[in-house]
Chain A
Amino acid sequence: MWQRIIALAIKEFQALLRDPKSRFVIVGPPLIQLLVFSFAATFDLSNIPIAVYNQDGGQAAQALVARFEGSGHFKSVANIQRESEISRVIDDQKALMVLNIGPRFEADLLSNQPATVQLIIDGRNSNTAAIALSYANTLVADFNTQWQTSHPLRAPPSVIVTRAWFNPNLESRWFIVPGIVAILMLVVVMVVTALSVAREREQGTFDQLLVTPLHPVEILIGKAIPGFVIGFTEGSIIIFLAVKAFAVPFEGHLLTLYIGMGLFLLSAIGIGLMISALATTLQQAVLGVFLFLVPAIILSGFATPIANMPPFVQDLTLINPMRYFMIILRGIFLEGSSFQSLQNQFWPLALIGIVTLAAAGWLFRHRMN
């Protein structure tokens, strides 16, 4: 039995890798995309263009503006002279926000009156707007603390001391790169498994395969092996690069990581082969891949937290293998999670793998005629 399966697996590898075009497409893009996306995917904003409408011009106002410009997050792109220019700057997206300092700013400040600073933000990209606003809040709070200590009026009754665990500088790249690792592995596995049967159907070789003594389960295993091997190899390379090139900490155990990776590959291959067994043409297979791939990535907690989703969508994510693998990867990379603490991620992955592989096997047998 194993000899036949290995023969089939070797044939699958040759079919994937002998043609230079398809060999390149399977090997090249994941590595390129890791590089590109790891730089692209960050929620840390830098050089946010702001316009300053400084109607006061005094020392305190200058100090506040300097604090914005010196933070690294903001870059002053224009000085506004008139109220009417504000809307032009925002509408045309020359600046994401306008810092409007009133003419009585310093006077209010010195007379212990509330000195109000107006911030006008372009809300078209609400996520960027929210992040920019939170930066501005922090900067103003820091300004206040400094002002209070240098102009001793009264010590604030309470202060906040914040620490962020696992990622002290709140670098979002640490969070994103493990997610990209998971996405690229999923894409590679889908590409390798989901198109394989449809391709044989279109070339007419599937019948030839079925008259050999290969049992449907053996065909299934033979077609799963390349996905597993290629997924494992590319996954290892991508993880190595992530740690070495992007300096993402790796706190956990390699063994735990590989257990999680194995279970994830199993479930992804199961889904890929299910699509493969259902599709009769390549176009249908590609449609199937996207109908799975896009929701799986969106609903994985990669970019937007699952906790923010409404309850029924949260329930839906329970069948998404990416959800569990995201937690496993981030846990192992950043927290050094142990095998025990990830148990609740491992068993759902194993369950999804078993169910989808069994379904794929069933479909193989019943779609033969």
Chain B
Amino acid sequence: MSAHGVKNDTEAIVIRGLHKSFGKAPRITQAVNNVSFSVPTGTVMGLIGPDGAGKTTLMRLMAGLLTAEAGSLEVLGVDVQKDPLTVQSSIGYMPQHFGLYEDLTVQENLTLYADLQGVPFDQRPNRYQRLLAMTGLGAFTDRLAGRLSGGMKQKLGLACTLVRPPKLLLLDEPTVGVDPVSRRELWAIVYQLVQEDGMTVLLSTAYLDEAEHCDQVILLHEGEILGQDTPAAFTQHLAGRVWGAKRELGLRRHLQAELKQQPGILDAVIDGDWVRVLLAEQTAPPTLPNGVWQPLPPRFEDAFVLMLNSQRAAQTPQAPAPPTSQPIVPTARARPAEVITVHELTRRFGAFIAVNALSFSVQRGEIFGLLGANGAGKSTTFRMLCGLLPASSGALSVAGVDLFTAAAKARARIGYMSQKYALYEVLSVMQNLKFFARAYGLKGEHLNRRLAWALSEFELTPYHDTNSGLLPLGFKQRLAMACALMHEPDILFLDEPTSGVDPLERRAFWGRINELADHGVTIMITTHFMDEAEYCDRLVIMSQGQILAAGTPAAIRAQAQTAAAPNPSMEDAFIALITAPTPPTGVAA
């Protein structure tokens, strides 16, 4: 073993010509196709790719949980295929859904992994102390893991992975479903490990801003490597092609939709007060009546989207269909009316106050965002609004009624998409769609029309007979949204609908949401992507069951303006608001 160790002291991972496929003929999917790369010791390597690119499969291969069909795979100088146990004894691997035992306390989870990893008893107190301090979990050692917020769970998972200091850390989407504050803390921990312990880190992520924190990035698409380089190198050739557009009148999202359809514009997203536009090569920004253009520095996301778009365009003859909507007629705006009102809404669980005297209202056709750290009470608020949970006190009305007490029929006006994409996993896509449509009373010609609409609009036709449990995550999300929209609801509740979904899927998703809002559908949404918060017309930021800030995205950003940061992003604003007055629950210690 030591002979190998000397040989590869500079490369933590060496992979050559790796192949892995799933399924039986004729339905074979190539999950990893002729992949070769190496990861230098002591660096942070990002593994980036859309859903189904093979990131998780690659991680599992490196952890010795799957066997490759061809190729060589050396981790820390050891052949993983031959000696998985040795590799498993020296690496730390945190799967996407880290298996915390929810009925065990924080300390009990740590002790279990210390036992499994064979950490000597005399070293434990120091190790625990360091990990608990690092993750800010010191004050919660006696709390059951199931009762931690999402961000804290993720940090505990990381602590369990690190209980015996590994030389290589594999992190599979460690920041999915985690609020920006906790995300920053997780990243701080990763850097600390690399700097202090000389650890090598390989992580996959769906947050492309995080890619820029990596020393190097590997781009993976459909099991193949598109490139490996530093994040900056990926964006070099984009200089001069990224511009911001702004118009005094109208909504940013209308401008965005408009620009997106123009020739020569490859991508358009909302970025603060601006609409960020990626131009085709050798193109100048188109003329914009009543508007201004400003050049912006390119970001990794621009490069990523460009690369994915060209990949997908190469595979499918026609380019990704732009939203096939009619010209936008914002008629619904003409007659605003309060569709959702919440007054002094409170929910207690025993002595714990999950939602504390919440008041806000949402207009028809508005996109309303509910932001907050994990455990701020967003989901509880959603469950009350949807009639799944009675309020302890206060008043609420959705479309004029309280859904918990109203007749079941009233629920036909709302659509609800829960965090976990509640689909019947053993049922096919078509069966899921049919069931939800019929449950909402659709029948006959109308039913058939909506089914056809759902299959084509969400591009689910090739999967119509696939069990929904076997779909890639992005398609699960599409199906869940299709199910929630079958009955054309007036009000749509979306609880973290884009968690873990890749940027292209998220663009398609927001295209649909904008279109719905323009047709008068009221949309209420929670998200952890702060760039997505910019799409909301108005939003509130919650913390510990209360509203910290409310207003338009611009107004909220303005609240965080300081001399030091004259132009804060939504994420900066969010973190400033959450951390400023009282420390959030997760970092109290």
Contact = CB atoms under 8 A, between A and B. Distances in A.
- Chains A and B belong together in one complex: yes
B425 interface: yes
A263 to B, nearest CB: 29
A314 to B, nearest CB: 42
A355 interface: no
A191 to B, nearest CB: 16
A10 B434 CA distance: 10
A14 interface: yes
The residue among A3, A208, A215, A369 with the most chain B CB atoms within 10 A of its own CB is: A208
Contact of A15 (B388, B411, B424, B437): B424
B426 A3 contact: no
A368 to B, nearest CB: 7
A212 B424 contact: no
Contacts, number: 84
Interface string B376-416: 00000001001111100000000000000000111110101
A340 interface: no
Contact of B439 (A14, A15, A207, A214): A214
Contacts of B420: 204
Q: For B424, B425, B431, B441, which residue has the most chain A Cβ atoms within 10 angstroms?
A: B424
Contacts of B418: 204, 207-208
Contacts of A208: 416, 418, 422, 483
A6 B434 CA distance: 12
A9 to B, nearest CB: 10
Contact of B409 (A203, A207, A209, A213): A213
B443 A3 contact: yes
A18 to B, nearest CB: 5
Given A19-B426, A213-B441, A8 B435 contact: yes
Contact of B422 (A7, A205, A368): A205
Nearest to A7: B438
Nearest to A205: B422
Contacts of A14: 424, 426-427, 431, 435
Nearest to A222: B439
B436 interface: yes
Interface in A3-31: 3-4, 6-8, 10-11, 14-15, 18-19
A245 interface: no
A15 B426 contact: yes
B427 A15 contact: yes
Given A7-B439, A8-B439, A203-B422, A213 B411 contact: yes
Interface string A310-321: 000000000000
B388 A210 contact: yes
B423 interface: yes
A369 B349 CA distance: 11
Interface residues of A, number: 26
Contacts of B113: none
A10 B435 CA distance: 8
A19 B470 CA distance: 13
B438 A211 contact: no
Contacts of A15: 424, 426-427
Given A204-B418, A208-B418, A213-B441, A368 B426 contact: no
Nearest to B403: A211
A163 B142 CA distance: 75
Nearest to A8: B439
B191 interface: no
Contacts of B390: 369
A204 B386 CA distance: 15
Contacts of B440: 4, 212-213
Nearest to B404: A369
Contacts of B416: 207-208, 211
A141 to B, nearest CB: 63
Nearest to B410: A213
Contacts of B439: 4, 7-8, 209, 212-214
A368 B383 CA distance: 12
Nearest to B409: A213
Contacts of B389: 369
Contacts of B425: 203
Interface string A210-245: 111111001000000000000000000000000000
A207 B408 CA distance: 14
A15 to B, nearest CB: 6
Contact of B427 (A8, A18, A210): A18
Nearest to A19: B426
Contacts of B408: 213-215, 218
B422 A204 contact: yes
Contacts of B411: 211-213
Top 9 A-B pairs ranked by shortest CB distance?
A7-B438, A208-B422, A215-B408, A11-B435, A212-B439, A211-B416, A205-B422, A204-B420, A213-B412
17 contacts: A3-B443, A4-B438, A4-B440, A4-B441, A7-B438, A14-B435, A205-B422, A205-B424, A207-B388, A207-B416, A210-B388, A212-B411, A212-B436, A212-B440, A213-B412, A215-B408, A369-B388
Interface of A: 3-4, 6-8, 10-11, 14-15, 18-19, 203-205, 207-215, 218, 368-369
Given A10-B435, A18-B467, 16 more contacts: A4-B441, A8-B439, A10-B438, A14-B426, A15-B424, A19-B426, A203-B422, A204-B418, A204-B420, A210-B387, A211-B387, A211-B416, A212-B412, A213-B440, A214-B439, A369-B389
